[in-house]
Amino acid sequence: MIERAGAGPLRHLVVLRHAKSARPQGVPDHARPLAPRGRRDAPAAGRALAEADMLPGLALCSTAVRARRTWELAAAQWGTPPPVRYDPRLYGAGVHDLLAVVHEVPAEIETLLLVGHNPGLEELILTLAGDGLDDTLDRVRTKFPTSAVAVLSWRGTAWHDLTPGGALLTSVTVPRGSGH
């Protein structure tokens, strides 16, 4: 059966780039921790998602330490965090691999959070967004910095229906925590 375009519930793919990481000498890239700014910004990202009513039903997170810690600090801002799946395919992934992971998400999940890395996340956003509200597309093209959050919205019966150009980029924010 062929579904017409736009059928199904409104779905949201929330893309969160990991918070600012440190580069300690001798530490492999996968094991890099968050920098002090990252430890301040990650909770701000969690608060921003709660304020925007964009709490996910599921989170998919890279296995890199900086991504895992970003997820932990962001999710700690919510009353009941959703389930999280740490997927090694998200570390260093390009658009093809990121989309393959997203396509596996169960249909009952309507809001999905993806926590990962650039340049893959930026390229994924630009690939999926057929259009954007206001200047959102230009902002992502210019820079998708650490702790940035992008929301792509689309209608579909299942995640495997999400195709290049099939979503609307509805918001891009860069939450920053306050320094102490």
What is the number of alpha carbons within 13 Å of residue 138 lying toward its C-beta? Answer: 3
Average pLDDT of the chain to the nearest whole number: 94
- Residue 155, Cβ density class (10 Å: 0-12 exposed, 13-18 middle, ≥19 buried): middle
Take residue 92 and report the two structure tokens written for it: 């260093």
Instruction: Tell me the pLDDT tens digit for each residue of 61-96.
Output: 999 999 999 999 999 999 999 999 999 999 999 999
Q: Which of 169, 129, 163, 130 is nearest to 149 (CA)?
A: 169
Take residue 77 and report the two structure tokens written for it: 């801002």
Is pTM beyond 0.75 here? yes
